[in-house]
Amino acid sequence: MLEELANGHLHDKINKRNGKFSVNEIKTLMVGLMRGIKELHDNNIMHRDIKPENIMMRDDLDPVIVDFGLAADVTWDDYLFYRCGTPGYVAPEVCTLDKGVKISSVCDIFSLGVIFHIFLTSRPLFAGRKFD
């Protein structure tokens, strides 16, 4: 299995190509990611940290979701981590989450949308600030 994932992270692929992908490549990557997210959600799991660094590539266009350190079962009454995820990819409802408030697996769909935006525009969804 580890040999199959020897093609690096999606993040590396985006950087290597300067974010430029053909429409067919974007379609193939997004369908693969959506299938992965659907499998998680069908099993009541929300990843909560979908980002290019947490997507390994099995081959050129076959993504695999990894790093389940912040994942949670949607049926849990309490989450181990309340506000979690990576700035720029985390869903707004997770950022404003108060202890005891339930969120749903839809938060992963927002993160997937951010990745889709990067594929289409070669730019992050939110402009960051650089501190010197």
pLDDT at 131: 43
CA–CA dist 113, 121 (Å, integer):
12
CA–CA dist 52, 13 (Å, integer):
9
Of 5-9, 46-50, 76-80, where does mean pLDDT reach its minimum? Answer: 76-80
H or E segment to which residue 16 belongs:
helix 10-16
Of 61-75, 84-98, 106-120, where does mean pLDDT reach its minimum? Answer: 84-98
Mean pLDDT of 17-26: 91
CA–CA dist 113, 82 (Å, integer):
22
Bigger pLDDT: 84 vs 128: 84
Average pLDDT, the chain: 84
* pTM value surpassing 0.75: yes
Kindly state the DSSP code that residue 131 receives in the 8-state scheme.
-
> Which residue is listed with tokens 């309340």?
82
pLDDT at 78: 66
Hey, how many other C-beta atoms are within 10 angstroms of the C-beta on 15?
Answer: 12
pLDDT at 128: 64
Q: Residue 84 corresponds to which amino acid?
A: C
Phi, psi of 2 (to 5 degrees): -65, -35
pLDDT at 83: 65
User: Are the CB atoms for 42 and 108 separated by under 8 Å?
Assistant: no
Domains present along the chain, CATH in parentheses: 3-121 (1.10.510.10)
Give catalytic residue positions. 49
